[in-house]
Amino acid sequence: MRYSLGDIEKQIEATLKAVPSNEGVLIAPHAGEINLSTFTDATKQEGFIHMLPLIMYQYQGKRRFTTDSTKKLNVHELRYRFFVGAESLRLLDEAKRNAYDLLATVYDSIHGHWLNTDQPLDRNLPFLAGDVMAGVNAISPFMETEGEDERLMVNLPHIVVYYTDYIVLVIA
């Protein structure tokens, strides 16, 4: 492959950490399973509660988007899922508004931004932050996925978690 998933994650993290309003927000990749029980099971919940507010992102896999006739040049669609979590000790509505702000931050920082590579199509386009990746060819910026998006995952008293998916097309 011509791309490194680790390098892409570093650019995502650098981009989200560069947003001034994200100061104090945990921004990190997550390799384990995140599901409803992560936040509702008391044994698991305790750790996540102390990490709020958070933006966690997770590689969700790839699919071959297209290929040439010899199957030597493949374009992969890489999917990333972002989890945003917020809390309010006073009101659930305030926690939701805080989560909405985090969703907007992810959208503004990721959607329409290209991977920062040494082979850019146009340097006037918005790029992710972080170190330049050598030899990587992206053929699309990060785009939100079509269909259901920005889904509510957890709606507990004072805590809300949403997730949203983005894809990027790269030559493998």
Q: What angle do CA 138, 103, 87 make, to 5 degrees?
A: 140
Q: Where are the alpha helices (DSSP H) in 27-171?
A: 36-40, 42-49, 92-110
What is the spatial distance between Cα 51 and Cα 27, in angstroms, rounded to a whole number?
Answer: 10
CATH code of the domain containing 138: 3.30.2000.10
**Domain count along the chain:** 1
Q: Which of 58, 3, 54 is nearest to 30 (CA)?
A: 58
pLDDT in tens, 52-79: 899 999 999 998 877 777 767 889 999 9
pLDDT in tens, 82-100: 999 998 767 767 888 899 9
pLDDT in tens, 117-155: 987 777 788 999 999 999 898 999 999 998 778 999 888
Domain span holding position 78: 5-171
